[in-house]
Structure 1
């Protein structure tokens, strides 16, 4: 039986995919050309060239899949279902703007345009108490609107769902039953502040299917049972299963890994 003694770190960039292998006292580095259309191919190629594909006890991966999808606007066609009256939270945002008094400022278009943001009739108070029951017909209409608009992935973010997710769970279940990829705010970011929660769950819907598909391919190519850890934006790591479900955490995965590594080499960590 092959001993799994190697710890491998891998970072995929647009041009190169870089590896660091720590095996006992032995430290090796390696580099291969990236395969942007399917980054997992370059990873597997490099692991084979290093001879560690079957000798790893863990693989830690910094990824730019989500980063590039947002920068290049190449995420999936996404939509948003939200509480009646809160359709424009994503676009209104907050007062923290680079040019507060510039009447001609050019703003980035939201990841989900207004025609793919729909509302359902419901309302909770700040403690999660039901003020307006969830209207089933409005849910059916909202989900059908998503399907009709060609949406692949839906963000669901209802007011105060972090205090009581029941309404959001029902909407998410209806969207999943229609065959849509769903990101629900009570699962992705169950915290207060509507703009931050909405923008995060929309980001998750926008890049989630890409990360899910990518990591599924990578896991399939790796040995069974190998722990695969994905760097997240705060410099820590999460399981591949969590990254597939909460892809928004990986927006700055690659850059965070680089910063953390540089800090360690420089003696800051």
Structure 2
């Protein structure tokens, strides 16, 4: 006899770790169902969270559900899942291969860093490795005219007095010294996509926190080619290229 879950619905919480997948389910009218699965067990199931949900539904309704059958979720009111998969991939260097796209002349910005180190007197300090496999430099350049070379207070500039100046998203006066050749950019990215196994890009151009137009257009081109793109002005629109690109 098939038992039907009450209308309140089943609540499922899943913690998908690198080794184990923990599942707890609140099934109305039944005691809490708590169990553990291997996160990766290809001989028994394709995906641990999906397998966990299947087992919960079997328990709730008192029926056998084939592993290859599409799950009916009508009786489930919520599924919440947390995972350390991304963190583990980062720590173990098992994530997708990445290429860095940046302004010409700044390909080594992460390798150089900002010269800080945990222990300034450590004579055997080791430099941290970087996550990208390749670098493509884009021949583009903008400057922030609102500041002098020596820094200090912001300069008062009448943008309307100079037709070559534009106002950035930060309100600063921006001068575009060189626009990217987007046809060349398309060619560069297409060659990378077709001739390597890199399908993910980290895109960070100089001063894109204030003037994101070049970065946005290049991201659009890359996505059309097929890349997954992380764009610095979208993720962390702040001054300091070394911080944005990191």
TM-score (norm 2): 0.67
Q: Decide whether the 8 Å contact of 2:141 with 2:179 is kept in 1.
A: yes
Tell whether the 8 Å contact from 1:122 to 1:132 is kept in structure 2 after alignment: yes
RMSD (Å) for aligned C-alpha atoms: 3.0
Shift of residue 80 of structure 1? 0.8
Partner residue in 2 for 1:17: 21
Q: Distance in 1 between matches of 2:55 and 2:77?
A: 17
Aligned CA distance change for structure 1 residues 95 and 56 (closer, same or farther; 3 Å): farther
- 1:24 CA drift (Å): 6.2
Q: Which runs of 5+ in 2 are unaligned?
A: 61-70, 145-166, 169-173
- 1:49 alignment partner, one of 31, 48, 55: 55
Report the 3-state secondary structure (helix = DSSP H, G, I; strand = E; otherwise coil) of the residue aligned with 1:125: strand
**1:33 aligned to 2:38?**
yes
Tell me the matched-pair count.
Answer: 197
What CA distance in whole angstroms lies between the structure 1 residues aligned with 2:46 and 2:207?
Answer: 39
Conserved in 2, the CA contact under 8 Å of 1:14 and 1:36? Answer: no
Q: What secondary structure is seen at the aligned counterpart in 2 of 1:85?
A: coil
- Pairing of 1:7-156 with structure 2 (within 5 A): 7-23=11-27, 27-35=32-40, 41-51=47-57, 54=73, 55-113=75-133, 116-126=134-144, 128=168, 129-136=174-181, 139-140=185-186, 142-144=188-190, 146-147=192-193, 148-156=195-203
Contact kept, 8 Å, 1:78 with 1:152, in 2: the verdict is yes
Residue pair 1:121, 1:138 contacting (<8 A) in 2 also: no
Q: Is the 8 A contact 1:81 1:142 kept in 2?
A: no
Q: Which residue of 1 aligns with 2:162?
A: none
Q: Which has the higher helix share?
A: 1
Shift of 1:10: 0.7
C-alpha distance in 1, partners of 2:82/2:16?
Answer: 7
Matched, 1:195 2:201: no
Q: Could you give the per-residue CA deviations for residues 149-196 of structure 1, whole angstroms, max 9, x where no partner exists? A: 542111111122232321011111222233322222223333333222
Give the superposition deviation at 1:23: 5.0
- CA shift at 1:27, angstroms? 4.1
Unmatched segments (≥5 aa) in structure 1: 200-269
Tell whether the 8 Å contact from 1:10 to 1:20 is kept in structure 2 after alignment: yes
Shift of residue 144, structure 1, vs aligned partner: 4.5
Does the 8 Å contact 2:100/2:136 carry over to 1? Answer: yes
Asked whether 1:177 is paired with 2:224, we answer yes
Question: Which residue of 3, 9, 30 corresponds with 1:5?
Answer: 9
Deviates more, 1:146-155 or 1:168-177: 146-155
Shift of 1:198: 0.7
Partner SS for 2:243 = helix
- Is the Cα–Cα contact under 8 Å of residues 120 and 142 in structure 1 kept in the other structure? no
